A and B are shown apart, each in its own frame.
Chain A
Amino acid sequence: MTVDIALNVLLLSFLAITGLAIARVRNLFPVAMLTGLYSLLSASLFQLLDAVDVALTEAAVGAGVMTVLFLATFGLTRAREKSVPRSRTAIGLVVTGLTGAALFYASLDMPHFGAADTPVQEHPLRERYLETVREEIDVPNAVTAVLASYRGYDTLGEVTVVLTAGVGVLMLLGVSRRGRHDDDKEP
């Protein structure tokens, strides 16, 4: 337990340091790398919280694919942040401070970490999903059962959204000015 707490504190402080570093660095290539590092640290945190599904996704998308997409984008744009006048950074600081304070205030309302009397633990649906899943679907991983069977419509919608987003990107970027598919043949 103490090891868990120590790891949590360590990872969270690394997250904060990485966030500050991202805010300070002006050259965007290191920022892309640091964003990847941030995702990797979040993935470790999710792993610590036993959310392995989320950790897998975060590690692959956040640390892997997103970093590469950022770098590919810097190939198209300039890789250096424009310097902003002091007055505008002050406004940014105020907005960030206020948002942070609001979020902190909201977090006071949340149940304590690992509390036993939260709706997640006490709601009757919990029994429905975690116990009748044995008779109805009989797979050990209840997450998959909920995702693909009980919430089948929902997941179908999500997959459709993924496909639609992909089609949108391909329509915007995948066709060159001559109307030919940009990615069909290597020139």
Chain B
Amino acid sequence: MREHTVLRVVVKLLIAPILIFALYVQFHGDYSPGGGFQAGVIFAAAIILYALIFGLAEARRAVPPGVLRVIGALGVLLYAGTGVYAMLSGGNFLDYDYLAHDAVHGQHYGLLLVEFGVGLTVSSVITSVFYVFAGRGRRREQS
């Protein structure tokens, strides 16, 4: 795809808005449709688009697979950690009422943290799966 100038330019223009839209869907999920799952998928789609146009090697340099594996686990850890923190603060597991002094504020913090965890895991898992699928094809061509 390296020689397609139009595609390269258009994609370069598109990727930043896609990433920002993903962040909007992520952190505005309390107010508008969307949330961690949707945001994670959109974020991953932006990275995959980058890999399709600029090559897998470039994408791997920008978003290394090793980092993705760590982030994927961190997302679940953040989710479960929020639940454990609520437990340590005197509530039940995942009872966000105890995350702040005010129960409603606690719920807001809880939603934000938990959705962020979901977004991290979903985006990194989808990108990792794409990396291994796309990477195998290339390896086979060479051998």
Residue positions of A touching B, CB distance < 8 A:
52-53, 56-57, 60-61, 64-65, 68-69, 72-73, 75-76, 135-141, 143-145, 147-149, 152-153, 155-156, 159-160, 162-163, 165-166, 169-170, 173-174, 176, 181-184, 186-187
Describe A's contact surface by its main secondary structure: helix
Knowing A137-B107, A169-B129, the reply to whether A183 touches B79 (Cβ < 8 A) is no
- Chain B, residue nearest A151 (CB): B94
A-B contact count (CB 8 A): 168
Q: Which residues of A contact B37 (CB under 8 A)?
A: 57
Near A by CB (< 8 A), chain B positions 75-97 give 75-76, 79-80, 83, 93-94, 96
| Of the residues B30, B80, B104, B142, contact of A140 by C-beta under 8 Å | B30
Is B35 touching A53 in the complex (CB atoms < 8 A)? yes
| Of the residues B33, B83, B136, contact of A76 by C-beta under 8 Å | B136
Q: Which residues of A contact B34 (CB under 8 A)?
A: 52-53, 56
Taking residues whose C-beta sits less than 8 angstroms from the other chain, chain B's interface range is 35 or more
Knowing A69-B130, A69-B133, A182-B136, the reply to whether A52 touches B125 (Cβ < 8 A) is no
Knowing A163-B121, A176-B139, the reply to whether A141 touches B31 (Cβ < 8 A) is yes
Q: Which residues of B contact A143 (CB under 8 A)?
A: 33, 35
Is A159 touching B76 in the complex (CB atoms < 8 A)? yes
Is A182 touching B35 in the complex (CB atoms < 8 A)? no
Is B121 touching A162 in the complex (CB atoms < 8 A)? yes
Is B45 touching A60 in the complex (CB atoms < 8 A)? yes
Describe B's contact surface by its main secondary structure: helix
Residue positions of B touching A, CB distance < 8 A:
25, 29-38, 41-42, 44-45, 48, 52, 56-57, 60, 65-66, 69, 72-73, 75-76, 79-80, 83, 93-94, 96, 103-104, 107-108, 110-111, 114-115, 117-118, 121-122, 124-126, 128-137, 139-140, 142
| Of the residues A72, A140, A162, contact of B130 by C-beta under 8 Å | A72
The complex places the Cα of A64 from the Cα of B48 at a distance, in Å, of 9
Knowing A170-B132, A173-B132, the reply to whether A65 touches B75 (Cβ < 8 A) is no
Knowing A147-B35, A163-B73, the reply to whether A137 touches B111 (Cβ < 8 A) is yes
The complex places the Cα of A187 from the Cα of B7 at a distance, in Å, of 27
